Amino acid sequence: MLDQVKQLGFNTLRIPFSNESLRAGATTNSINYAQNPDLQGLTPLQCMDKVIEYCGSIGLRVILDRHSAKADNYLSEDVWFVAGDSYYTEQRWIADWVMLAQHYAGNPTVIGADLFNEPKRSATWGTSAPLTDWNKAAERCGNAVLAANPSWLIIVEGVERYNNQTTWWGGNLKGVAIDPVVLSASNKLVYSMHEYPKSVYAQTWFNDPAYPNNMDDVWNVHWGYIFKNQTAPLLLGEFGSKLESTSDSQWLDKLTDYIDGDLNLDGTRDLPPGQLGMSWTYWSLNPNSGDTGGILKDDWTTVDTAKMAYIQASQAPLIGSGAAASQRIDFPITLSEAPTSAVSVTWGTANGTALAGINYLSASGVLTIPAGQLQGQVSVVVPAQAASGTKQFTVQLSAPVGATLADSIATGTLRTACATDLNGNGVVDGADLGRLLGAWGPCSGCNADLDGDGAITGADLGLLLGAWGPCP
């Protein structure tokens, strides 16, 4: 599964844990030991060690997320300790973080600590109330962690409510403008927030007549200003959806545009050349998150390509690689003259010699070109190393409203010289062979499936061995 995470272009894994899992005598549950025999008899921390060890071996980085004090109790825990509980105190919370910081000291795979997941309800920011003021608790814990491990990033989420303005749990960072978190090493501070769609909770802004084009105002005021002002690094720590409604699809489309740098949602990236957008971790990989589902479907293997189509173009380069994890083909849709009223057209991808889910990610939607504009654009995500030789797919247009179609088909061409170079280092060698053998058997969308038949077999091995040596 971690190989699949890497193959999909992700570079970092955010791993939730509870303080309960670190207690003496803590045990694991819900592990399929038939598939994971090496985890049999291990403590939760030892299991996490195994995951982190493998992440490091394939170049993934890890953020640790203290999701709750008691296991699966995050819905009930407003603040970083459990009131009235003699064990789950602030002291225990800090001590466990210090233990983890020391435990992983010198391990470059683990890069940071998300101190407390989703402060909410009674959690405050900047009120000087010691039992609820999250920003001050984050300073106390963050400085203790940095004393134990100066290399780590300290990730501080927002609260739910600030000055009677409410947003998502952990999503309100308005207080940073007046009461920023102060750490012993300011360059280790990362602010983080969570964002979700209407299907999770019907926030007022989803009913605004301007939706979804009002969302930049919502995001700017709650957290986007931190990125705009370059106050500190910003991590969108959670966002996700099952994409079962038009509203959710619109939300994810606008959110990915925003974090890529279209800060006023006008269709144009507002960042200087070379400046990256915001960092993010998607919730979640696993399909059993009730509100959102996962990147993987219910079989825990098949990739949800509809979700990947939105987020893959926003991925950063893989760690240790100079090549981008994915690219995007843009198709301009041009009108013969500027319309006096909005024009819309339905579009969708179709296979040619390039296959959806292997060479490109299937996508569809309705493009609207506002009155007075001559051109719109649709985009299709192409995973890195997706094609061998030259392959083509098409974008097909239909059902125009307010215009007629002069040309209803556009062709996208993919050219990759060396699809057998699985790790992108320019040479087909033993490292690529190891990746292919490690993924042997059925797969979905993995780059080692060189012939695109849904499984790693002897045919793929033959293709790789036949291309041995430097890529052309």
The CATH number linked to 310 is 3.20.20.80
Whether residues 201 and 87 share a domain: the answer is yes
Share of the chain above pLDDT 90, in %: 59
DSSP structural state of residue 16: E
pLDDT of residue 450: 80
Give the residue, 32 or 154, on which the prediction is more confident: 154
Does the global pTM surpass 0.95?
Answer: no
Q: What is the pLDDT of residues 209-232, one digit of tens each?
A: 999 999 999 999 999 999 999 999
At residue 140, the 3 state secondary structure works out as helix
Q: Tens digits of per-residue pLDDT, 81-138? A: 999 999 999 999 999 999 999 999 999 999 999 999 999 999 999 999 999 999 999 9
Quote the CA–CA distance of 439 and 437 in Å, as a whole number. 5
| Domain span including residue 110 | 2-322
> 370 and 453: one domain?
no
The arithmetic mean of pLDDT across residues 175-195, rounded, is 98
Q: What is the pLDDT of residue 234?
A: 98
Whether 426 has a pLDDT exceeding 90, the answer reads no
Phi first, then psi, for residue 127 (nearest 5°) are -100, -5
- Are 356 and 274 members of one domain? no
Number of domains in the chain: 3
Among 322, 340, 370, the domain boundary falls at 322
Tokens of 321: 């690689």
Residue 323: pLDDT band (50, 70, 90) is very low
Out of 7-11, 256-260, 293-297, 389-393, pick the least confident. Answer: 389-393
> Residue 443 — pLDDT band, cuts 50, 70, 90?
confident
Same domain, 307 and 356: no
DSSP state of 133: B
pLDDT of residue 317: 60
pLDDT at 406 over 80: no
Same domain, 391 and 429: no
pLDDT of residue 331: 82
Contacts 24+ apart (CB under 8 A), 91-94: 92/19, 93/19, 93/66, 93/69, 93/141, 94/140, 94/141, 94/144
Banded pLDDT at 58 (limits 50, 70, 90) = confident
Give the DSSP letter of residue 296.
Answer: B
Give pLDDT, residue 409: 85
Residue 384 has pLDDT above 70, yes or no: no
List, as own/partner pairs, every contact residues 438-443 make where C-beta atoms lie below 8 angstroms and the sequence separation is at least 24, other chains included: 438/3, 439/3, 439/7, 442/301, 443/4, 443/301
Instruction: Please determine, for residue 291, whether its predicted confidence score (pLDDT) is greater than 60.
Output: yes
Confidence at residue 385, expressed as pLDDT on a 0 to 100 scale: 43
345 and 333 housed in the same domain: yes
Indicate whether 315 and 329 sit together in one domain. no
Would you call 244 a catalytic residue per the annotation? no
- Mean pLDDT, rounded, of the chain: 89
53, 90, 118, 195: the catalytic one is 118
- Cα 156 to the center of its chain, rounded Å: 17
What's the confidence (pLDDT) of residue 379?
Answer: 77
| Paired strand residues for 345 | 367
More confident residue, 250 or 429: 250
The CA-to-CA distance between both ends of the chain, in Å, stands at 31
Three-state DSSP state, 343: strand
Cβ-count burial 224-263 (b if 16+ within 10 Å, e if not): bbbbeeeebbbbbbbbbbbbeeebbbbbbbbbbbbbbbbb
**CATH code (residue 365):** 2.60.40.2030
Q: What is the pLDDT of residue 361?
A: 72
Residues 125 and 158 in one domain: yes
Residues 447 and 349 in one domain: no
Give the pLDDT band of residue 446 (cuts 50, 70, 90): low
372 confidence band (pLDDT: 50, 70, 90): confident
Q: Active-site residue 238, yes or no?
A: yes
- Range name among 71-85, 242-256, 305-319, 434-448 with the lowest pLDDT average: 434-448
At which of 416, 434, 453 does a domain end?
416
Please report which confidence band the pLDDT of residue 325 belongs to, taking 50, 70 and 90 as the band edges: very low
Say if residue 194's pLDDT is above 70. Answer: yes
CA atoms of 434 and 423, how far apart (whole Å): 10
Q: Please state, as a whole number, how many other Cβ atoms lie within 10 Å of the Cβ of residue 170.
A: 25
> What is the arithmetic mean of pLDDT over 158-172?
98
Among candidate residues 399, 416, 433, the one where a domain is terminated: 416
The pLDDT value recorded for residue 322 is: 37
Let me know whether 315 and 268 are in one domain.
yes
392 and 453, same domain (yes or no): no
Torsion angle of C-alpha atoms 236, 102, 152, 92, degrees rounded to 10: 50
- CATH code where residue 458 lies: 1.10.1330.10
Please say whether the beta carbons of 188 and 153 come within 8 A. Answer: yes
Same domain, 438 and 333: no
